[in-house]
Amino acid sequence: MKLKVVGIFTLLALLVASAVCLAEVPTEGLVVYYPFDEIAERTVEKVQEDDDGEEVVVEVQQRIFADASPNGYDGVLNGTAGMTTEGVVGNALALDGEKDTLFILPVEIFENKDQVTISLWLKYYNYQDYQTFLHFTSEEKIIYYFSWLIMGRSYGSLRGVYSDVDQMAADIEVEEWTHLAVTITADEVTYFMNGVQLGSPYSIQKPLADLTPIRFAYVGYYAGRPFMECDIDEFRVYDRVLSLEEIQALLEQGQ
């Protein structure tokens, strides 16, 4: 009898352990991770021209969200970008749609990469064409951008520029948190919403590796498009393609 009880407890312990294991957030290949839980300040030195056209070094104050990965890729809040306490996990990045309001990423996050996975939680506040939640442009003007609504369609779309096919039907609810993931290889991009793959992988004409050096990388804005009114949480980039199970583990930790 005693043996049987011990056996049952062992089985239960194993089941709990495996459940915890399933939900574990992947760490292998993690390039950057923003929990968006606390705004910090830093002073950086920038070179700019003075009134006489001479280059001078000036100190600039910046508001940042720290990178929680070991890589130190802190991101900079621009304009009226701020924080909301109503995140998926703790607080979240809050963008109010005002001019110049965006989150600036270090370009190194996407430089010299053959493949990446991007994972984030997104909450929209209104539908506006071409609101772009992630965008990066190379020095040679190769553009990757990812937005949800294209050409006034009543359903969501995702787009990576220079992919062959970039429209797909996928419901996204305004004012609700949605988990999005994008995997990019040398020649394909695949989209996932709430842990489900959307359609088939799409071909990319310009491989990610060709983007280096990158000129800028933004969350919440793409040149000439509306600034986004949205909240974003748990933003991660990996330098490898995550499996569906790993993407679902990222989804689970926010549920």
Interaction of residue 65 with Ca ion, rule CB under 5 A: no
Contact 25, 242 (CB under 8 A): no
Interaction of residue 87 with Ca ion, rule CB under 5 A: yes
Interaction of residue 33 with Ca ion, rule CB under 5 A: no
Paired with 76 in beta bridges are 64, 104
Peptide bond into 70 cis (omega under 30): no
Q: Please select the residue that binds Ca ion; options are 35, 75, 220, 226, rule is CB under 5 A.
A: 35
Question: Stretches 25-33, 34-42, 110-118, 129-137: which one binds Ca ion (CB under 5 A)?
Answer: 34-42
Of 164, 104, 175, nearest to 137 by C-alpha is 104
Interaction of residue 26 with Ca ion, rule CB under 5 A: no
Q: Where are the beta strands (DSSP E) in 35-172?
A: 39-49, 55-65, 75-78, 82-84, 92-96, 102-105, 116-124, 132-138, 143-147
Of 83, 80, 79, 78, nearest to 35 by C-alpha is 83
Q: Please select the residue that binds Ca ion; options are 33, 36, 136, 148, rule is CB under 5 A.
A: 36
Interaction of residue 121 with Ca ion, rule CB under 5 A: no
Residues in the chain: 255
Interaction of residue 86 with Ca ion, rule CB under 5 A: no
Interaction of residue 156 with Ca ion, rule CB under 5 A: no
Question: Stretches 63-71, 81-89, 136-144, 176-184: which one binds Ca ion (CB under 5 A)?
Answer: 81-89
For Ca ion, which is the closer residue by CB, 35 or 156?
35
Please report, as ranges, the residues that interact with Ca ion according to CB under 5 A.
35-37, 87, 89-90, 233
